[in-house]
Structure 1
Amino acid sequence: MAGTYKSQNYSWNDISIAFGGRIVEGIEEIEYTAKQEKNVLRGRGGKGHKITRGNKDFEGKITLWQSEIEAMIADAPNQDLLALSFDIIWSFTPNDGGATVTDVLTTCEVKEYKKGMKQGDQNMLVELPIIFLDVKHQQ
């Protein structure tokens, strides 16, 4: 019989996100996806015999204040945000004393960015689609 486990729920207030050597205050959204190519290996009969696995891909997005984007551009090679490579450290620390969980997204790069504002906006938010090489869970 499988062992039991205790699950823990986390909220936005429980997370800290760091990259560029500091915890980022001006972040409003983060998400990532891990994908792997998978197919059914077929042979004799009508049912599959095995699931084969191929390449893994990782992507996501972060939504930041403009001031955070400007800081990233200042640190980027030739002030080119698309040339910047960085790790994202995403930690969940619940206020109730539960276990801290940290995911590390390694070698992140921005795929594209778009700046814009409209009348009445009080802050510019910039969504950055990212790709990265690996996710290290529960570090």
Structure 2
Amino acid sequence: MSTFSSKQYSWSDVSISIGGRIIEGVTAVEYSVKQEKEALRGRGNKPHQITRGNKTFDGKISIWQSELEAMATSADLLDVTFDVIISYVPSEGGNTVTDVLTGCEFTEVKKTIKQGDKNMVVEMPLAFLDIKFQQ
């Protein structure tokens, strides 16, 4: 009998830590790794292999303005390097998954609020050095 579980993760299962502090005011997180790839061509009209180039890591975090202001009191947000830890802990059982984004830096601070908004959510683009999946 298999012990495979297909439990799904939901937003309520996610904890995000920035610089060692769990952030309550995160409303979205996105991160990715991309790699340059190109077909290696030679004899004939079909490629012979896929060649690989540099990897690029980027993402973004949407965060309450109040959380952002709390982080900004200690330093200029564009000058700080930190790790982001994203943990998926299913409330109904299943495996905990933790991804670590290392050497993160914010690339832009852009605040926007409009009439009718109940709070400000700031989208903070990230550049980082590596993703350590399933730590």
Q: Please report the TM-score for the alignment, with normalisation by the length of structure 2.
A: 0.92
Question: Which structure has the highest helix share of the two?
Answer: 1
Is the alpha carbon distance of 1:49 and 1:93 closer, same or farther for their aligned partners in structure 2, counting shifts above 3 Å? same
Instruction: Say whether residues 1:82 and 2:78 are aligned partners.
Output: yes
Tell me by how many angstroms 1:7 deviates: 4.3
Alpha-carbon contact 2:89-2:96 (below 8 Å) kept: yes
Q: Secondary structure at the match of 1:121?
A: coil
- Within the candidate set 88, 103, 107, 2:103 is matched to 107
Structure 2, unmatched stretches of 5+, are: none
Tell me by how many angstroms 1:72 deviates: 1.5
Q: Secondary structure at the match of 1:13?
A: helix
- Distance in 1 (alpha carbons) for counterparts of 2:11 and 2:79: 29
Tell me by how many angstroms 1:9 deviates: 2.0
Tell me the residue number matched to 2:126: 130
- Between stretches 108-117 and 49-58, larger displacement belongs to 108-117
- How well do the aligned residues superpose, as a CA RMSD in angstroms? 1.6
What is the identity percentage for the equivalent residue pairs of Structure 1 and Structure 2?
61
Structure 1, unmatched stretches of 5+, are: none
- Distance in 2 (alpha carbons) for counterparts of 1:83 and 1:111: 9
Query: Number of residue pairs matched?
Result: 133
Matches within 5 A, 1:55-94: 55-76=54-75, 80-94=76-90
Instruction: Say whether residues 1:20 and 2:16 are aligned partners.
Output: no
